[in-house]
Amino acid sequence: MKYALFCFLLFTCPTLGWGQAKTPVEKILISAKKKKTGVSTSEKGELQISVSPGDLQKFKKRGWVRYSDFGARGDGKTDDMDAIAATHAVANQYELSVKADEGATYYIGGKDRTAVIQTNTDFGRAAFIIDDTEVQNRNASVFIVSSVLQPIKLETIPVLKRNQQQIGQSLPQPCLITVTNANVKRYIRFGLNQNNGASQTDIFVADKNGNLDRNAPIIWDFDQVTDITALPIDENTLTITGGRFTTIANKAESKYTYYNRNIAIRRSHVIVQGLEHRVTGEGEHGAPYGGFINIGDCAYVTVKNSVLTGHKTYVTIGAAGKPVSMGSYDLSVNRALNVSIVNCGQTNDINDKTYWGIMGSNYSKNLLYDSCTFSRFDAHMGVANATIRNSTLGHMGLNAIGSGVLTVENSTINGYSFINLRPDYGSTWQGEIFIRNCIFVPADGRPISSSLIGGANSGQHDFGYTCYMPERITIENLRINDSNHPGSYQGPAIFSNINPEMKDASYRELFPVVRPKEVILRNITTASGMKLRLSDNPIMFKDVKVVTD
């Protein structure tokens, strides 16, 4: 067989969320000569893979390769990362599936190496130990799920408008389009983690004729486009099945140096199913994690029938010079559309406050929890449309800012508010909220004065956008379990005291908050027997129309 040379260029998304950095470009050399199959490294640390003609014929005939074919020991002690990366490299070149060896335990040390997944992968019941105690590159993913399709720079689109339905340019196939205006800053954060905001960004889907998906509209006016890229969407679905992963946690200083030793999904149309991830070895200090399943720059991704683990909460000094708890995630979604998390849970108690909320997201649209039991749902820098159904959320509850429709149905929420509109981003939701057939257990049953819609905004901070409260809120068949409450309790409120400084009509907001218009209530019951009130701040919400059936 003639000599074959194949170079893989690894790439991931631009820096997103909590310090997710670019994966270094790496070359992998594959040689198909008449020699023994094996894996070695060059002086520069690059993988060099040899595949004998006989083995290659065997692999092609059966349609899959396994890690032991390229030297993985699977004994839980020998570092198998080179063999794992080599197996996927060969599978990608020859369009073969990958299977883990039955009963194997693969040890993955701190080497700066990433395995690229471009074909169906069955981890089965195999175990993977990811040792983060000595890591060469904390930003190097263990696995990255990528497309063979190359990004396309779109140079002829100077402006875009909110809710625009056509980009005026044809494409080779349906694409996920990311756009940025670096000259406009949004999400100028307030509070202990204050910052100067992020460049205006958006993400949407266009078909080959340039028509946009109306279910994921453009949410900003782009008077100037400084960068716009089309990511072709793979037609076929890539499936990742099984795997029992355990992370031995890092013991780094507790600072915002996020570890991204994860499975990074950077390809559209992906299903992850039956995966388990656990964490061990967390001590008195450690750096946070950016999500073991890290979904970004992609669309149509489903994670189902999987188990994740909340990370221990560590404290550092925030941007305001005061102590702050650091977010640490096992599931993160950044610049992604149509992401569904279905029938998933976590190994920790969802109401144990020593563990941070399991999920965080930024710049995403159409997020779904269905039949999940998690400590939290969270949309940091905005979500357009989100649905929580048939689920239970723990001590960190449901946190969001964004736009469109936020729907919660057939679910139990244990947070301090039923929905917390994040104060650090202005407690803004430009759209509607629907709550149907739900149970609210304020603070997991601890005695507090409860409210359904929580948040805070003094009207004195510029967040980089006009802040809205939900235009309309519809609540049907809600049970509030507030039997355990403080002595001063006057009953649950629809809205928390969003602005305690607004005590009369003389208060002036430099950056006015757009008030709600209407709240529709149907069949609201409380364990305390007290009626649902409007708010502790009647001045702010005096013009809200409350309709009861």
The DSSP output letter for 182 is E
Question: How far is Cα 168 from Cα 298, in angstroms, rounded to an integer?
Answer: 22
Question: If you average pLDDT over every residue of the chain, what do you get?
Answer: 93
Question: How far is Cα 399 from Cα 380, in angstroms, rounded to an integer?
Answer: 8
Long-range contacts of 37-41 (CB under 8 A, 24+ apart): 37/69, 37/70, 38/70, 38/71, 39/70, 39/71, 39/82, 39/83, 39/86, 41/82
Handedness of CA 451, 453, 454, 458 (dihedral sign): negative
**What pLDDT sits at residue 425?**
98
Mean pLDDT of 477-502: 95
| Position 26 confidence tier, pLDDT thresholds 50, 70, 90 | low
**What pLDDT sits at residue 547?**
96
**What pLDDT sits at residue 454?**
97
CA 432-304-356 angle, to 5 degrees, is 70
Residue type (1 letter), 179: V
Taking 70 as the threshold, does the pLDDT of residue 449 lie above it? yes
Taking 70 as the threshold, does the pLDDT of residue 10 lie above it? no
Taking 80 as the threshold, does the pLDDT of residue 336 lie above it? yes
Question: How far is Cα 431 from Cα 365, in angstroms, rounded to an integer?
Answer: 14
Whether the CB-CB separation of 14 and 28 falls below 8 Å is answered with no
pLDDT in tens, 219-270: 999 999 999 999 999 999 999 999 999 999 999 999 999 999 999 999 999 9
* Percent of the residues in the chain that have a pLDDT greater than 90, as a whole number: 90
DSSP class per residue in 71-134: T---EEEEE-HHHHHHHHHHHHHHT-EEEPPTT-EEEE-S-S--EEE-S-EEEEEEEEEEE-SS
3-state secondary structure of 330: strand
pLDDT in tens, 162-173: 999 999 999 999
Taking 80 as the threshold, does the pLDDT of residue 302 lie above it? yes
Q: Crossing angle of helices 81-94/53-62, nearest 10°?
A: 70
Strand order in the sheet with 198-206: 152-153, 227-232, 175-186, 198-206
**What pLDDT sits at residue 23?**
39
Whether the CB-CB separation of 325 and 353 falls below 8 Å is answered with no
Taking 50 as the threshold, does the pLDDT of residue 495 lie above it? yes
The token pair at 219 is 């949410």
Taking 90 as the threshold, does the pLDDT of residue 101 lie above it? yes
Question: How far is Cα 386 from Cα 419, in angstroms, rounded to an integer?
Answer: 12
Q: Give the pTM.
A: 0.94
Residue type (1 letter), 115: A
| Position 491 confidence tier, pLDDT thresholds 50, 70, 90 | very high
Question: How far is Cα 259 from Cα 130, in angstroms, rounded to an integer?
Answer: 12
Pairing of strands 175-186, 198-206: antiparallel
The closest alpha carbon to 426, from 463, 381, 471, belongs to 463
The closest alpha carbon to 224, from 273, 291, 168, 157, belongs to 157
pLDDT in tens, 37-78: 999 998 888 999 999 999 999 999 999 999 999 999 999 999
**What pLDDT sits at residue 3?**
30
pLDDT in tens, 350-391: 999 999 999 999 999 999 999 999 999 999 999 999 999 999
Residue type (1 letter), 97: S
Whether the CB-CB separation of 399 and 422 falls below 8 Å is answered with yes
The token pair at 339 is 């992401």
The residue extents of the domains of the chain are: 28-109+118-136, 152-232, 401-549
**What pLDDT sits at residue 296?**
98
Taking 50 as the threshold, does the pLDDT of residue 506 lie above it? yes
pLDDT in tens, 130-184: 999 999 999 999 999 999 999 999 988 999 999 999 999 999 999 999 999 999 9
| Position 18 confidence tier, pLDDT thresholds 50, 70, 90 | very low
**What pLDDT sits at residue 114?**
97
Question: How far is Cα 55 from Cα 67, in angstroms, rounded to an integer?
Answer: 13
pLDDT in tens, 383-418: 999 999 999 999 999 999 999 999 999 999 999 999
Question: How far is Cα 430 from Cα 495, in angstroms, rounded to an integer?
Answer: 16
Question: How far is Cα 113 from Cα 360, in angstroms, rounded to an integer?
Answer: 26
Q: Number of helices and strands (H, E) in the chain?
A: 2, 41
The DSSP output letter for 539 is T
